[in-house]
Amino acid sequence: MRYRRFYLLSSVIALTAIWAFHSKQSPDRKNEQPNILVVLCDDLGYNDVGFNGSKDIPTPALDKLAKNGTIFSSAYVAHPFCGPSRTSLMTGRYAHKIGAQFNLPPNSETIGEGVPLSETFISTVLQKSGYKTGIIGKWHLGAIQKYHPNNRGFDEFYGFLGGGHNYHPEQFKAAYKKQKEKGTEVIFEYLLPLEHNGKEVDETEYLTDAFSREAVRFINNTAQKKNPFFLYLSYNAPHTPLEGKKEDLEKFMHIKDEKRRNYAAMVYAVDRGVDQITKALEANGQLENTLIIFLSDNGGRTDAGANNFPLRESKGSTCEGGYRVPMFFHWPGKVPAGETFNFPVSTLDFYPTFAALAKANVPKGKLLDGKNIWEDFLHKTNSHENQNIYVLRHREGYTDVGIRNNEWKALKTNQNNWKLYNLNKDIGENQDLSHENPELLKSMVKEGEKWSRSHSQPRWFHDEQTGIEWLTAQMPHFDQTFRID
C-alpha cells in the first residue's frame, strides 16, 4: 500500500512537471515572440485607403484593422522608389550607404547584382531566433541564386524575383510561351512564371488573389507549429500594368477615368485578400498575438490612377507625396486602438523594433540607421526628436533631397534653391519659410551634407543610359546639392 501511494504521488508529480513544462514552452513562447505580418503594397497612394480619407475606393478590411489599431500619419519609407525602399526595410540601412540607391534593372539576372551579402536581412535575424519566415509576392532585391529569398533568411518564397509582373495568368502565360517558342533568350520579367522556393509553378489565379491565397496557406501551416512567424506579404498591386480583375472592375464602373477605375479595382483586391488573411488568423487563434503592419513602399503614381492628397507630387519625388505613405499597426491589447500617431517614423525603424519585440540578437557590428520605436510609440513620444529623417533621389546630373526634423522639412528639387516648410501647418509644402528661418535651414542642410559623405557609389543603375549619364556628369556633385545660394 505504501509503495502504491508512493507510485501515485510520483506519477502526479511527474505529470504536473510535464504539464508545467509544456504550458511554459508553448503559450509563453508565443507571448514572448509575437507573430509579425508586414503587408506591403506597391505604389499605393496616401489617400487611396478609407482610413486615410479615400471616398471612391472602399477598403473595409483595412479600415477595420486601422480602427482597431493605430494609424501613423507621418510614416516614411527611406526612398521614393520601390527597390531602394525595400532594401532599407530588409537591411535597416539607407540604400545609398550600400550602393543600392537605384532600382535594379529589369531582368537583373543579366547583370548578376543584388543587395550586398554583407548585409544581414531582418528575416535572417528572426529566422535565427526561431521564427518561421516567409515572403509572398514581389522581391526585387536580386534575381540570381545567391540573392534569392531562400538564401536571405526566408524559409518560404512564393512569387517573382523582379520589379513587377502582369496580373492575369491567361495573358502572361500565353505571352511567355510565345516568347519561348521564338527562342527569346531574355524574356521580360513581367511575363515569367511564378516560383515557389526556386521551382516554377503554374499559377492560374489573378495575381493578387494568388498572393492572398498563399498568405493564408502560410498562416494555416505555421499554426500547426510552436514557432512564431514572420510573413512579408509583398503585393505588387496597384503597381502598373493597370490590370483589374473583371469582377472587381464591375464594382467601379461609376469611375469614369479608366486608369482610376483599374487602380481602384486593384486596391480593392488587396483589401479582399487582407480580409481573408485576418479571418485565417482569427480561425487559428493567432490574431491576438500578431503585429500587423500595413503600408506602401513609396508614394502613388498620380499618372497611373493614384491619389496622394493632401501631399505634394508622387512616386519618385522627395516631396511628401513621394515617400510619405499610409500605414497602421494592429495588435489587440498591445497597440492602442482608435488612435493616430503623428510623430514621424521610418521603415528604417522596423529592423531594430522587430528584433526587440522578437527578443532576437542583431549581429555584432550590424549597422542600423533606424531605432527601436516601440516604447516611444506606446508612450506617444517622438523617437526622432531633433533627429533628421532623410530622402534622396538622384536625377540626370543633379540630386533632389528632403530632410525632416520634428515639424520642419528642408527640401531641394529640380535644381531650385533650398526651401523650408513647417509640415504641421503646411502638409502640402506650399509656403516656403526659408527667409524667416535662415539659420535653421542652414543647419539642416549642413547635416544633410555630412550625411551624404556616408554614401557609396551605386553598384548598379536601373538602365544603361542612367549609368552612362552618371559617369559623364561625374555624379553625385554633393558639393552643389548641399550649397545654399
Give the torsion sign (CA, 304, 254, 207, 77): positive
Joined together, the cell numbers standing for residue 286 give 493567432
Peptide bond into 238 cis (omega under 30): yes
Peptide bond into 476 cis (omega under 30): yes
> Residue 191 corresponds to which amino acid?
L
Point out the residues that are catalytic.
82, 140
Yes or no: say if 324 and 297 are a contact pair by the CB < 8 Å rule: no
In whole angstroms, give the CA distance from residue 179 to residue 172. Answer: 11
140 in Cβ contact with 86 (< 8 Å)? yes
Cis bond before residue 228 (omega within 30° of 0):
no
Short-list 300, 299, 322, 310, CA closest to 414:
322
Q: 3-class DSSP state for residue 422?
A: strand
Q: How far apart are CA 238 and CA 258, in angstroms?
A: 14
User: CA 447 to CA 408: how far, in whole Å?
Assistant: 14
d(CA 51, CA 66): 7
Using DSSP bridges, classify how beta strands 339-341 and 229-234 pair: parallel, antiparallel or unpaired.
unpaired
Contact 460, 105 (CB under 8 A): yes
